[in-house]
């Protein structure tokens, strides 16, 4: 499965910065949908209402994903790859 990777940096409520990738099917072209995926993830990390716009989240590249990631994407519509400070 070909996916788009969206590189995302969000300021947490404590002032530190969390880094994660939003990975979604390449067919999703609407950036608002991508941002909503990120906001859903932020809510799960008790970071709701933190800004997530095109300034924090930008398209990075297209790649092929592993079967485990693909299964999550097929179920949820996207996958979050935590890169740093996502606790």
DSSP per-residue codes, 6-70: EEEEEE-TTS-EEEEEEEEETT---HHHHHHHHHHHHHHTT-TT---STTTEEEEEEEEPPHHHH
Query: Per the structure, how many domains does the chain have?
Result: 1
State residue 34's pLDDT score: 98
Strands 2-11 and 57-64, by their bridges, are antiparallel
State residue 13's pLDDT score: 96
pTM of the model: 0.95
State residue 71's pLDDT score: 97
Q: In terms of residue numbers, what domain contains 76?
A: 2-84
User: pLDDT under 70 in the chain at which residues?
Assistant: none
Output the CA–CA distances (angstroms, integers) from residue 60 to 28, 42, 47, 75, in the order listed. 14, 20, 23, 23
**CATH classification of the domain holding 50:** 3.10.510.10
């Amino acid at each position: 499965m070909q996916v788009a990777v969206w590189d995302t940096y969000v300021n947490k409520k404590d002032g530190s910065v969390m880094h994660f990738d939003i990975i979604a099917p390449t067919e999703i072209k609407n950036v608002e949908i991508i941002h909503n995926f990120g906001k859903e993830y932020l809510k799960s990390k008790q970071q709701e209402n933190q800004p997530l716009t095109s300034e924090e989240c930008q398209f990075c590249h297209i790649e092929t994903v592993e079967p485990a990631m693909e299964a999550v994407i097929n179920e949820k519509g996207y996958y979050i790859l935590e890169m740093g400070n996502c606790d």
